[in-house]
Amino acid sequence: MIKNAYFNEEHELLRDQIRRFVSEKVAPYGETWETEGMVPRNILQEMGSLGLFGIRYPEQYGGSDLDTLATVILAEELGRSTFGGFAVTVLVHTDMASPHLVNAGTEAQLSRYLPNIIKGNLITAVAVTESGAGSDVAGLKTHAIKQANHWVLNGSKMFITNGVYSDLYFVAARTNPDTKGSHGITMFIVEKDTPGFSIGSVLDKMGWHSSDTAELVFENCQIPEENILGEVNQGFYAIMKNFQNERIVLGAQAMGEAAKAIELTLEYVKEREAFGQKLWEKQTIRQRLARRLAQVEAGCQLVYHTAWLDAQGEDCIKEVSMVKAYCGELVNRVMYDCQQFHGGFGYIKGTTIERMFRDARIQSVGGGATEVMLEEVAKRI
């Protein structure tokens, strides 16, 4: 990668630390986790003890108080691990679920949960999507009714990452039956052992095999009043705010994956021979990889610039939406070409590129489908 103006020495040290961790603690075991359908808790705790789960969080709770660019580094490097399922297990915890608590939690909620979230003792999930409402968050139907000093939650959630093995769930529910759309939605903190909460089904997926995904069910699930997260009926706006970080991180993960896939393919085509030459000698192959690398570099710079804007506190919804749309599509195009140049071997299970190809497919859908992101861009131009 081209060195650039966005990262300082602290960022580069963080990058080295994560790259070392991935090479020593992830690469040798990732295949096993793919088979087991989960990332072991001791690995997550080890990441916690190294400070990787509190990169952006306040020092008073055990975090490092770094900026958006630091999380971009985490996401890129986990993307480069080649195990998308591992990467998303971590990134949902650090950058998609726990920010709900950090951005809206009361002092009491932060003290109760955040130190253990940062240590990796409590793993988190965010449950917004339902089988009838994904892109259209305002269409969600799970609801909570207030009774005395608690809320009674009923409904279900679909496609929830870390759904099976999390300890703490941030759940969106409709709390004002008289309103429709974006009004009247509230976020709740649901602890795993809350009566009435259960895992409906464990979902088998095309890719991200080491990430556990579940349907969640709430049947008269009683949530204490103190587990309301943020303001009652203002949850939709909290979800939209947190989506911004989620989308920067997903873009960074995608670019880490794409850059790594190109590197692996360069190694392959420089060794593999056909028609008496290395594949690299074919101009069409060289040029396609060079073009993809240029696009990935452009994608990275868009991610970095957007993260920088975010770190300055600038409104960057347009740029964030561009990141999600551009990087989510690009990683798929890169994987297609990389698999193509691996020939038949790229289609065989157990090869890295076959897994990366499958893992990438969700990047243009999850966390904001390309079309939805382009609408967000279009609204602002």
Ligand X SMILES: Cc1cc2nc3c(=O)[nH]c(=O)nc-3n(C[C@H](O)[C@H](O)[C@H](O)COP(=O)(O)OP(=O)(O)OC[C@H]3O[C@@H](n4cnc5c(N)ncnc54)[C@H](O)[C@@H]3O)c2cc1C
DSSP string, 301-363: HHHHHHHHHHHTT---HHHHHHHHHHHHHHHHHHHHHHHHHTGGGGGSTT-HHHHHHHHHGGG
Q: Quick one: which of 251, 253, 252, 293 has its CA closest to 269?
A: 293
Residue 101 vs residues 62, 120, 182, 254: alpha-carbon distances, Å: 15, 15, 20, 25
Q: Which residue is nearest to ligand X (CB)?
A: 134
* Contact range with ligand X by CB under 6 A, out of 130-138, 249-257, 307-315, 338-346: 130-138
Single-letter code of the amino acid located at 52: L
The verdict on 166 binding ligand X (CB under 6 A) reads no
* Residue 119 CA from chain centroid, whole number: 19
145, 217, 372, 377: which one contacts ligand X (CB under 6 A)? 372
Q: Is 294 exposed, middle or buried (0-12, 13-18, 19+ CB in 10 A)?
A: exposed
* Phi (first) and psi of residue 155, to 5 degrees: 140, -165
The verdict on 329 binding ligand X (CB under 6 A) reads no
* Contact range with ligand X by CB under 6 A, out of 23-31, 99-107, 127-135, 283-291: 127-135
246 carries an active-site annotation: yes
* Contact range with ligand X by CB under 6 A, out of 128-136, 254-262, 281-289, 322-330: 128-136
Judged by CB, which is closer to ligand X: 209, or 292? 209
Smallest distance, ligand X to C-beta of residue 329, A: 11
The verdict on 328 binding ligand X (CB under 6 A) reads no
Binding mask 342-371 for ligand X (x = CB under 6 A): --------------------x--xxx-x-x
Task: Compute, in degrees rounded to 10, the torsion defined by CA atoms 139, 143, 144, 145.
Answer: 110
* Contact range with ligand X by CB under 6 A, out of 31-39, 121-129, 255-263, 334-342: 121-129
The verdict on 169 binding ligand X (CB under 6 A) reads no
The verdict on 170 binding ligand X (CB under 6 A) reads no
Residues in a beta bridge with 190: 169
160, 189, 303, 316: which one contacts ligand X (CB under 6 A)? 160
Smallest distance, ligand X to C-beta of residue 161, A: 3
Contact 142, 173 (CB under 8 A): yes
Distance CA 56, CA 62 (A): 10
Distance CA 37, CA 27 (A): 16
86, 159, 268, 308: which one contacts ligand X (CB under 6 A)? 159
List binders of ligand X among 211-240 (CB under 6 A). 213
Q: Quick one: which of 9, 13, 107 has its CA closest to 60?
A: 107
The verdict on 124 binding ligand X (CB under 6 A) reads no
The verdict on 205 binding ligand X (CB under 6 A) reads yes
Distance CA 19, CA 6 (A): 19
The verdict on 197 binding ligand X (CB under 6 A) reads no
The verdict on 127 binding ligand X (CB under 6 A) reads yes
* Contact range with ligand X by CB under 6 A, out of 79-87, 154-162, 221-229, 270-278: 154-162
Binding mask 71-100 for ligand X (x = CB under 6 A): ---------------------x--------
Catalytic residue (choose from 246, 257, 319, 376): 246
The verdict on 145 binding ligand X (CB under 6 A) reads no
Q: Quick one: which of 359, 308, 305 has its CA closest to 331?
A: 359
Query: What's the full length of the chain, in residues?
Result: 381
Contact 354, 345 (CB under 8 A): no
Interface residue list for ligand X (CB under 6 A): 92, 125-129, 134-136, 159-161, 205, 208, 213, 362, 365-367, 369, 371-372, 375
Q: Give the residue numbers annotated as catalytic, written as ranges.
A: 246
